[in-house]
Amino acid sequence: MNNAIEELAGSVPIPLETAAQLIPMPSVRALYAFLNRHKDIFPGVYRTSGGRGCVIGGFEQRFLTKDEILKIREMTFHPKSESRFVRAGRPSKRNGIIGSIIRRCEEARG
């Protein structure tokens, strides 16, 4: 029984708004951009959504499967040591014009 539920959960389509929160992505637009760059790995799966109160014929909505979400998480997750944001807000080296200004200010103080 559990295997059948897990197989079903793997094939249930998840809308991009939910997928962006599960991955996590900063926005749905960022997720669209990622999927656009990796079209060969993640081909588009669209379904018509909507009903009587919506546009006639509904609108197409993009969906991802559980396996695709896990693969995107694997591709986008970086441990803190590998992240490009580890040194965010701190200069990595004091080279260049700003580095020389900082060095001069520190020398003047000390």
78 part of a folded domain: yes
The predicted pLDDT at position 92 comes to 56
The answer to whether residue 16 is domain-embedded is: yes
Res 51: pLDDT: 59
Confirm if 72 and 18 have CB atoms less than 8 A apart: no
Segments of 1-110 assigned E as strands: 14-15, 45-49, 59-64
Q: What is the pLDDT of residue 4?
A: 46
In a domain, 94, yes or no: no
* pLDDT the model gives residue 109: 81
Q: Is residue 90 part of a domain?
A: no
Number of domains in the chain: 1
pLDDT of residue 26: 87
Residue the block writes with tokens 């992240």: 83
Q: Which range of residues forms the domain containing residue 80?
A: 2-84
pLDDT along the chain (110 residues), means of 10: 50 84 88 90 77 62 87 80 56 66 79
Task: Tell me the C-alpha distance between 50 and 15, whole Å.
Answer: 13
